[in-house]
Amino acid sequence: MPESLSRRGLLGWGAASAAVGAAGFAGGMATANASEGDGGRAGGGTTGDARAVASDSYPFYGTHQAGIVTPAQDRLHFAAFDVTTTSREDLVALLTAWTAAAAEMTAGRPVGGDPTSYSAPPNDSGEADGLSASRLTLTFGFGPTLFRDAAGKDRFGISGRQPAALQRLPHFPADALDPARSDGDLCVQACADDPQVAVHAIRNLARLGFGVVSLRWSQLGYGRTSSTSTAQATPRNLFGFKDGTANLKAEDPSALDAHLWVGAKDDPKAPWMAGGSYLVARRIAMNLETWDRSSLREQEAVIGRDRREGAPLSGGKEFTAPDFTVKGREGQPLVAASSHVAMAHPTRNGGVQMLRRGYNYTDGSDDLGRMDAGLFFIAYVRNPARQYIPMQTRMAKQDALQEYLQHRGSALFAIPPGAKEGEHIGQALFA
């Protein structure tokens, strides 16, 4: 029970810096991650004692930001902010404050330490006191509107450094976007195994941003829909199928370099993005009622995999590569060309791969008494113009699954590389 552990008691101020170590925990996950610079659980020990649980934290500082190849945590709180100030100085000050707060919270410490005065508001809102770090990661990004306003005007003296790939996502066929759930100047992805820890983090970052940023939209996700490590089992989406079987995984660093991380020479205008990535967010409502009335045969044909095991319909097991040439009795391919697995497969997309990191969401019900539920799709790519956009353009037209989906929210953010200690997130952009 994480509630029984005290952040203050077990990770007191004296011990805190010592906790940011590299002692591995959970074997392969920590190893794979450490090589990417954002992994290796702090603290340590593999026993089940309270101290080991309380030290379930990832370092905030590193070559890459945490929360990308980090083994996908169970819960999400994602927030997009609009910058309300015109002051570059205030914006940089906020990024500096956010960096310090993120380092504290991901280590399981309250923002700004314990209250020291009764006559001032506490620095930290307190609802995560007593909870462990819960493998919290905070991942920050910059939207295209941070660089130029709608009229194309430079907002903070950084428009000359806007990456060519950082443009508002196009309107794809059948998009039914809600502007109030799309876009944003800044984003923060908070992932943790305890949702209260993720919500606490976004709340305290929003609080630090008072007068500088305004919360544009936010999204809770309760169930991860992808694995980012071979050590994780593939979860199921709300259609009951395993999702993300062919995802990029932390254990394949050469594929990550090819498809995930921005290279030093990718964009001559944006060398500050080297070691970063791009985050595509899509709020995809799933028509559960319609799906639930489809036969199992139809469901499996639409996905291209069997429901129970997640094996491709061409045969084998979950991780067997689909064979698009195998035909059935009527001479049709067993994995239809319009099936989701075929449409999304690298071999049908010029070898393109993505690191998906989405979550199931359920936000009450709509006016017709249907659950408002679906997938909050998150994908990290090295170049959205070459990876996500062409794929989604084709899928929106041809993917058999699209009949059951509605894309309601959309955003693209540039994810800078990780900060070193003493730096703030995005420092090279503003330097």
Q: Taking Cα atoms as reference points, which of 225, 218, 240 lies closest to residue 404?
A: 240
Residue with smaller CB distance to a copy of itself, 21 or 240: 240
Tell me the two tokens of residue 408: 């309601």
State the Cα–Cα distance between residues 277 and 165, nearest whole angstrom.
Answer: 11
Residue among 51, 207, 386, 408 that touches a copy of itself (CB under 8 A): 207
CB of 196 to a copy of itself, least distance (A): 4
Residue among 12, 27, 45, 126 that touches a copy of itself (CB under 8 A): 126
Which of the residues 143 through 202 are near a copy of itself (CB under 8 A)?
A: 194-196, 199, 202
**Which range, of 93-101, 171-179, 273-281, 369-377, touches a copy of itself by CB under 8 A?**
369-377
360 binds a copy of itself (CB under 8 A): yes
365 bridge partner residues: 371
User: To 10 degrees, the CA torsion angle through 22, 23, 27, 32?
Assistant: 10
Residue with smaller CB distance to a copy of itself, 14 or 364: 364
Residue with smaller CB distance to a copy of itself, 127 or 154: 127
Q: In the stretch 328-347, what mask flags binding to a copy of itself with x, by CB under 8 A?
A: --------------------
Which of the residues 1 through 40 are near a copy of itself (CB under 8 A)?
A: 1, 3-4, 8
Residue among 162, 218, 226, 277 that touches a copy of itself (CB under 8 A): 218
State the Cα–Cα distance between residues 287 and 297, nearest whole angstrom.
Answer: 18
CB of 80 to a copy of itself, least distance (A): 9
Tell me the two tokens of residue 102: 């993120």
Which of the residues 263 through 302 are near a copy of itself (CB under 8 A)?
A: 288-289, 291-297, 299-300
Residue among 184, 235, 304, 312 that touches a copy of itself (CB under 8 A): 235
203 binds a copy of itself (CB under 8 A): yes
State the Cα–Cα distance between residues 93 and 97, nearest whole angstrom.
Answer: 6
Give Dmax (Cα) for the chain.
Answer: 78
Residue among 50, 255, 373, 385 that touches a copy of itself (CB under 8 A): 373
237 binds a copy of itself (CB under 8 A): yes
Which of the residues 55 through 94 are near a copy of itself (CB under 8 A)?
A: 75, 77, 82
Residue with smaller CB distance to a copy of itself, 218 or 383: 218
Alpha helices by DSSP H, 209-350? 253-259, 288-292, 296-303, 340-344
User: To 10 degrees, the CA torsion angle through 124, 125, 130, 133?
Assistant: -60
- For residue 55, the SS3 value is coil
420 binds a copy of itself (CB under 8 A): no
Tell me the two tokens of residue 191: 């992932």
Print the SS3 string covering 359-399.
Answer: EEEEEEECCCCCEEEEEEEEEEECCCCCCHHHHHHHHHHHC
Residue with smaller CB distance to a copy of itself, 124 or 183: 124
422 binds a copy of itself (CB under 8 A): no
219 within 8 A of 78, measured Cβ to Cβ: yes
